[in-house]
Amino acid sequence: MNAPVDFAALKTRQQAAWGTGDYAVIGTTLQIVGENLAEACDLRTDERVLDVAAGNGNATLAAARRGCRVTSTDYVGSMLERGAERARAERLEVAFQTADAEALPFADASFDAALSTFGVMFAPDHARAAAELARVVRPGGRIGLANWTPDSLIGRMFKVLGRYVPPPAGVQPPSLWGTEAHLRTLFGASAAALQATPRQFTFRYRSAAHFVETFRLWYGPVNKAFAAQTPERAETLAAELSGLLDDLNRAGPGALVVPSEYLEIVVTRA
């Protein structure tokens, strides 16, 4: 019989991982995903919108640009600081609050919409995170998500990392959030409707080596994975990631252009 998962200890380790590097260096390149998600959710001026696991605020800014009253949350304070810098630069009024996606500090039905771009999918307790999203959104409101699929570049990258830093036993992989069947199970009776649309984000770098170097420096989980290796193993990991990128590159030898599938989900709250 497997021992129960210590989610509290796991989240503490996750916080430390996501707090390394500077996710905003990579996160800002994903801004178009937040804009598309805001449109998919048909956000309205003055609606109350919650961004969960907001990172550096892509969905936050997209909602605020549409006149929404936005609360941006993450359990890594340094990420929220980056989002706040961006909001100030655009003269957008946003409330920023440190919060755990699995224990949101808001009353039931507090928001017209809740969003998350490549954020809540990394919460280790999937069922609890989904229940919290549903709890804080009013009946008839929307839950909008953008989640990497298992076969996306990022999904495949995490499979590679898992061979060097094995994932915790008993924890469902984040990429399950990128499958419609899993989402229908998670939201169940709390969803009056669920629309899932496959989309692509395209990563653009000079080369595979440039991508690996950038993620190794700034993307917390990759940074931590490399730090846990011997120099020889780190070199092997870099080569394996570069090989994956080269296989998926559609630009030829002069640049790196790699499409990565994600699932755009809009849940209408029952």
Q: Give the per-residue pLDDT at 7.
A: 85
pTM of the entire predicted model: 0.96
| The two three-digit tokens of residue 84, written as one number | 């706040």
Q: Give the per-residue pLDDT at 3.
A: 66
Q: What is the DSSP letter of 110?
A: -
Instruction: Determine contact, residues 93/67, Cβ cutoff 8 Å.
Output: no
Q: Is residue 192 part of a domain?
A: yes
Q: Is residue 27 part of a domain?
A: yes
Angstrom distances, CA of residue 127 to CA of 122, 123, 182: 12, 9, 10
Helix and strand tally (H, E) in the chain? 11, 7
Overall domain count for the chain: 1
Cα angle 218, 220, 223 (rounded to 5 degrees) comes to 75
Q: Is residue 235 part of a domain?
A: no
Going by C-beta distance under 8 Å and a sequence separation of 6 or more, which residues neighbour residue 118? Answer: 30, 33, 55, 146, 147, 148, 154, 262
Q: Give the per-residue pLDDT at 169.
A: 85
Q: Give the per-residue pLDDT at 43.
A: 98
pLDDT band for position 152 (50/70/90)? very high
Q: Is residue 230 part of a domain?
A: no
Q: What is the DSSP letter of 103?
A: B
Strands 256-269 and 137-148, bridge-based pairing? antiparallel
Q: Is residue 176 part of a domain?
A: yes
Q: Is residue 53 part of a domain?
A: yes
pLDDT tens-digit readout, 26-71: 999 999 999 999 999 999 999 999 999 999 999 999 999 999 999 9
The CATH number given to whatever domain includes residue 94 is 3.40.50.150
Q: Is residue 223 part of a domain?
A: no
Q: Give the per-residue pLDDT at 102.
A: 97
Q: What is the mean pLDDT of the chain?
A: 96
Share of the chain above pLDDT 70, in %: 99
For residues 108-122, average pLDDT: 98
Strands in the chain per DSSP E: 48-51, 69-74, 94-98, 111-117, 137-148, 191-205, 256-269
Q: Is residue 130 part of a domain?
A: yes
Q: Give the per-residue pLDDT at 191.
A: 98
pLDDT for 97 beyond 90:
yes
> 173 is in which domain, residue-wise?
7-149+168-202+260-269
Which position has the token pair 């990991």? 237
Distance, CA of 260 to CA of 6 (rounded, Å): 32
Distance, CA of 268 to CA of 247 (rounded, Å): 38
Distance, CA of 71 to CA of 263 (rounded, Å): 23
